[in-house]
Structure formats: C-alpha cells, structure tokens
C-alpha cells in the first residue's frame, strides 16, 4: 500500500472517531429552555437566552431587554419551584418556534402561546400571547 493511501486511511479513521459538534436546532433550544424551567434550573434556563434578548407582549409591546430582565421575571419563580409549563403544540419555521402551552405559576394556570426567535443556539426574542387565547376560546364557546 502506498504512503498516501495509508495517510488517507488513517485520517478517515481518526475523523470518524471524533464526534462533530452538533448545533442545536431552534426547537432544541426552546425545548431546553422549557426543560430547565420545569427542572427549576435557573442557570441552565438563563443559558438559552442571548445577552441582548428582547421580551414582548405580542405583537410589539416591549417589556424589556437583556438577560437581566429575564432573570428578574423568572428567578424567584424558578428558585421557589412555583412555575411549570406543559407544551401542547410546537411549530417551527426557519429560526422561529411557536409554542402553545399550559403554564402554572403558583396555583394559577393559564394557556399561552410564545413565539421564540432563535439565532444560533440562543433565544434572541420572545413574544407572549396569553389573553388572546382566552378571549378566542371564550368567543368560540359563546357561539356554541
């Protein structure tokens, strides 16, 4: 066997032994966020957000910017283990993930939709729709 063939074979075998770093999909990032929230792991939860994340009430009412804002909203809820989310449906398109969920904070439970914009492996923005779902279901129920 010639030397070039031996070198190529050795390189191929070595390359197969080293696992490639797998980039998380946008859905993976949001699933990790929800897993960390339910496990009450604040730092793992925070790690899913970009440093300059923006938080909105849909469509464009800005609630705040940055991880500091996210921490302010969720830290006490996570530390006291008084928050839980159950995902009902997930849809994704490009870097956007839409999640319909049932969210419990303390003894209060409500349905909600969140639209996450994910860039790389971080949540860049999130838009929450909560009252819209309740109002739509109430209207639909009234017509029955």
Q: What is the pLDDT of residues 117-134, one digit of tens each?
A: 999 999 999 999 976 444
In a domain, 2, yes or no: no
Q: Side-chain half-sphere of 112: how many Cα atoms within 13 Å?
A: 20
Q: Does residue 11 belong to any structural domain of this protein?
A: no
pLDDT in tens, 52-111: 999 999 888 999 999 999 999 899 999 999 999 999 999 999 999 999 999 999 999 999
Number of structural domains (the chain) is: 1
The domain containing residue 73 runs over which residues?
23-143
Q: What is the pTM of this model?
A: 0.75
Closest CA to 49 of 64, 60, 39: 64
Residues forming beta bridges with residue 87, ordered by sequence position: 101
Residue 97 CA to residue 84 CA, distance in Å, equals 19
92/100 Cα distance (integer angstroms): 12
Closest CA to 114 of 124, 104, 126: 126
Whether 7 is covered by a domain: the verdict is no
Here the CATH number for the domain that contains residue 34 is: 3.10.450.50
Residue 13 belongs to a domain? no
């Amino acid at each position: 066997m010639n030397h070039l063939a031996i070198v190529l074979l050795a390189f191929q075998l070595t390359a197969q032994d080293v696992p490639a770093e797998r980039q998380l999909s946008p859905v993976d990032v949001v699933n990790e966020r929800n897993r960390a929230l339910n496990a009450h792991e604040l730092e793992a939860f925070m790690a899913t957000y970009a440093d300059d994340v923006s938080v909105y009430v849909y469509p464009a009412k800005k609630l705040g910017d940055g991880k500091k804002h996210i921490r302010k909203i969720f830290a006490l809820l996570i530390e006291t283990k008084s928050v839980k989310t159950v995902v009902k449906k997930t849809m994704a398109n490009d870097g956007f993930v839409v999640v319909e969920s049932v969210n419990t904070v303390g003894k209060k439970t409500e349905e909600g939709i969140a639209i996450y914009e994910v860039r790389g492996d971080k949540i860049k923005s999130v838009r929450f729709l909560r009252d819209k779902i309740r109002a739509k279901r109430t209207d639909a129920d009234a017509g029955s």
